[in-house]
């Protein structure tokens, strides 16, 4: 079994990079980049994430972040849980009396970027394509409550649901593609929209070559043309490389881990920006393992981990300890009593009582099984590496050995049922249902249901299933509060994972004369599609 990986502490690594940044800032920008600030109305950003297919049927823009598509609704900026506001819809729809029919009135002043008209047939075609098995859409399961969608007249779309679903307005964030582009059924991953998108959004894709995408303002956008005339996004996966090139003046902005972003705090002409998120980091604990599948081990690990120290030393204070997947921003739905005390002595007692006896080297053994397991993390993400190291240290202190392994993403996914993973979550955090259901419901333990990151521990708890089902089907606010608090209480009683922290997403941007930035609650998937640039359509040039 692979041994634990040693690396510099998070703070020491950040300090080493800070020295490199000082040196790099005195040199010319590296080859291959474009120096920021050459054109005042043009932004050059560096993203940690590789360019994704720009097809809503393939999942692009499900949370409303797309620059090239609009949804029927969009997020309103501001602190706390965001409201939804109309986009392609004239108003945010309300359900009928049986809570299964939602009628959406559309705007009548919208065109696609290719000049064709927008209408109900485009909405219908997009949602039907997501649900069509021929599309093999990775987000089809997220829309399983949609029984039918049909056009009515020239400006109306009617959704009929299989059951009452309180969070349905969140499903209307999905970007809308033209019906002509979806006329021929087939796999979403093979659609021309992936590389040649046609949308109604504030920007159009002008060019994509390798790791570089160029977007230009849509002069005919229904909400007015953006004042940012051109947006260039370069894929730079390595955190330290992005920081060095940002310091060298190649970029107007980027996303960085908190400690690395902190090295820019006193740099003239730069601003460090933090956005609240429901994005969490956790350790999955596969149910099929004799170690991580043991309820006593799972509870012990939750008491062993020092979440406050992780937030303080690894996140630089930019985040909050996480005990369940529901952060405080969810208001009444958040149960403040659903927590794990940091209590290594209690963790040791739990393991003792369950028959895990310390061996000669301090690692526990039960019936010939050593308390040892592998924890995978993505090698390019220093934050996950640092959290994994801290988790392994805390686990070893109570007699559980965690072997860290850097695993590339293609090899990571098929190993999730077998090996623990340092995972992120909070993909669609705008309702408790979309924050919790996919990660916890046991329906995703069935063969062929969902993806590898849905209920990654393969944990089954009938009480959790019942509460999740009750919460998504009830439109009574207090019934929903009770249901989701039950989920959190069960999580603490029988944890399927070790939650570590909710992240504050941190960005560095060059001060360049723009105004109009607003905060917004961010999901797990962020990068430069979010941060200060999430509402780029609203930015104003002040020089």
Whole-angstrom distance, CA of residue 129 vs CA of residue 175: 12
In this structure, is residue 514 part of a structural domain?
Answer: no
Q: Residue 178: which CATH number?
A: 3.90.76.10
Residues 297 and 248 in one domain: no
Residues 121 and 89 in one domain: yes
CA 228 to mean position of chain CA atoms: 26
Residues 393 and 449 in one domain: yes
Q: Tokens in use for 193?
A: 């929209």
Residues 480 and 433 in one domain: yes
Q: Residue 22: which CATH number?
A: 3.40.190
Residues 311 and 400 in one domain: yes
Question: Can you tell me whether residue 141 is helix, strand or coil?
Answer: helix
Residues 411 and 482 in one domain: yes
Residues 405 and 484 in one domain: yes
Helical H runs in 294-453?
A: 295-304, 307-313, 344-353, 382-396, 409-415, 432-440
Looking at residue 99, its pLDDT comes to: 87
Count the domains in the chain: 3
Q: Residue 320: which CATH number?
A: 3.10.105.10
Q: Tokens in use for 196?
A: 């040649």
In this structure, is residue 186 part of a structural domain?
Answer: yes
Question: Can you tell me whether residue 342 is helix, strand or coil?
Answer: coil
Q: Dihedral sign, CA of 52, 58, 63, 68?
A: positive
pLDDT in tens, the chain (543 residues): 333 333 444 544 444 444 444 444 443 333 344 556 567 799 999 999 889 999 999 999 999 999 999 999 999 999 999 999 999 999 999 999 888 999 999 999 999 999 999 999 999 999 999 999 999 999 999 999 999 999 999 999 999 999 999 999 999 999 999 999 999 999 999 999 999 999 999 999 999 999 999 999 999 999 999 999 999 999 999 999 999 999 999 999 999 999 999 999 999 999 999 999 999 999 999 999 999 999 999 999 999 999 999 999 999 999 999 999 999 999 999 999 999 999 999 999 999 999 999 999 999 999 999 999 999 999 989 999 999 999 999 999 999 999 999 999 999 999 999 999 999 999 999 999 999 999 999 999 998 898 899 999 999 999 999 999 999 999 999 999 999 999 999 999 999 999 999 999 999 999 989 999 999 999 998 789 999 999 999 999 998
Question: Can you tell me whether residue 352 is helix, strand or coil?
Answer: helix
Residues 365 and 445 in one domain: yes
Q: Tokens in use for 440?
A: 């916890």
In this structure, is residue 5 part of a structural domain?
Answer: no
Residues 266 and 295 in one domain: no
Helical H runs in 93-140?
A: 120-131
From the CB of residue 64, how many other CB atoms can be counted at a distance below 10 Å? 24
Whole-angstrom distance, CA of residue 1 vs CA of residue 200: 52
In this structure, is residue 510 part of a structural domain?
Answer: no
Q: In angstroms, how far is the first alpha carbon of the chain from the final one?
A: 58
In this structure, is residue 357 part of a structural domain?
Answer: yes
Residues 430 and 290 in one domain: yes
> Max Cα separation, the chain?
77
In this structure, is residue 286 part of a structural domain?
Answer: yes
Q: Which domain does 233 fall in, by range? A: 10-51+210-277+525-541
Residues 258 and 298 in one domain: no
In this structure, is residue 2 part of a structural domain?
Answer: no
In this structure, is residue 360 part of a structural domain?
Answer: yes
Residues 142 and 259 in one domain: no
């Amino acid at each position: 079994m692979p041994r634990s990986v040693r690396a510099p502490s998070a703070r020491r690594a950040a300090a080493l990079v800070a020295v490199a940044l000082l040196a790099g800032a005195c040199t010319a920008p590296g080859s291959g980049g474009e120096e920021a600030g050459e054109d005042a109305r043009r932004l050059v950003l560096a993203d940690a994430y590789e360019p994704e297919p720009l097809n809503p049927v393939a999942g692009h823009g499900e949370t409303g972040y797309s620059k090239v598509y609009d949804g029927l609704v969009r997020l309103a900026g501001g602190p706390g849980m965001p409201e939804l506001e109309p986009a392609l819809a004239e108003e945010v729809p309300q359900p009928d009396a049986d809570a299964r029919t939602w009628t959406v009135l559309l705007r009548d002043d919208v065109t696609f970027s290719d000049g064709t008209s927008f209408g109900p047939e485009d909405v219908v075609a997009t949602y039907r394509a997501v649900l069509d098995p021929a599309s093999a859409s990775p987000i089809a399961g997220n829309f399983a409550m949609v029984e039918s969608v049909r056009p009515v007249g020239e400006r109306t779309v009617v959704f009929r649901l299989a059951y009452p679903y309180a969070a349905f307005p969140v499903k209307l964030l999905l970007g809308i593609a033209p019906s002509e582009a979806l006329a021929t059924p087939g796999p979403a991953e093979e659609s021309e929209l992936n590389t040649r998108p046609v949308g109604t959004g504030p920007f159009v894709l002008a060019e994509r070559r390798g790791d570089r995408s160029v977007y230009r303002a849509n002069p005919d956008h229904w909400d007015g043309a953006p004042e940012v005339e051109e947006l260039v996004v370069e894929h730079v996966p390595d955190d330290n490389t992005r920081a060095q090139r940002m310091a060298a003046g190649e970029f107007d902005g980027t996303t960085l881990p908190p400690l690395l972003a902190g090295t820019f705090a006193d740099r003239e002409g730069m601003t460090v920006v933090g956005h609240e998120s429901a994005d969490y980091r956790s350790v999955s604990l596969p149910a099929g393992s004799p170690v991580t599948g043991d309820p006593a081990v799972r509870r012990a690990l939750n008491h062993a981990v020092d979440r406050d120290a992780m937030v303080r030393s690894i996140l630089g204070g930019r985040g909050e300890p996480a005990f369940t997947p529901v952060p405080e921003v969810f208001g009444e739905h958040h149960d403040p009593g659903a927590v794990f005390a940091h209590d290594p002595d209690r963790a040791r007692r739990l393991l003792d009582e369950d028959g895990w006896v310390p061996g000669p080297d301090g690692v526990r053994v039960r019936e010939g099984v050593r308390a040892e397991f592998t924890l995978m993390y993505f090698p390019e993400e220093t934050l996950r590496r640092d959290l994994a190291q801290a988790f392994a240290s805390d686990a070893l202190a109570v007699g559980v050995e965690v072997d860290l392994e850097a695993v590339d993403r293609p090899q990571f996914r098929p190993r999730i049922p077998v090996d623990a993973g340092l995972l992120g979550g909070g993909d669609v955090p705008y309702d408790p249902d979309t924050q919790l259901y996919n990660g916890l419901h046991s329906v995703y333990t069935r063969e062929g249901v969902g993806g590898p990151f849905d209920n990654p521990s393969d944990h089954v708890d009938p009480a959790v299933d019942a509460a999740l089902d009750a919460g998504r089907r009830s439109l009574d606010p207090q019934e929903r509060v009770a249901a989701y608090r039950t989920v959190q209480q069960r999580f603490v009683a029988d944890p399927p994972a070790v939650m570590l922290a909710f992240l504050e997403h941190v960005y560095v941007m060059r001060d360049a004369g723009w105004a109009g930035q607003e905060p917004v609650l961010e999901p797990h998937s962020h990068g430069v599609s979010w941060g200060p640039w999430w509402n780029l359509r609203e930015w104003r040039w002040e020089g």
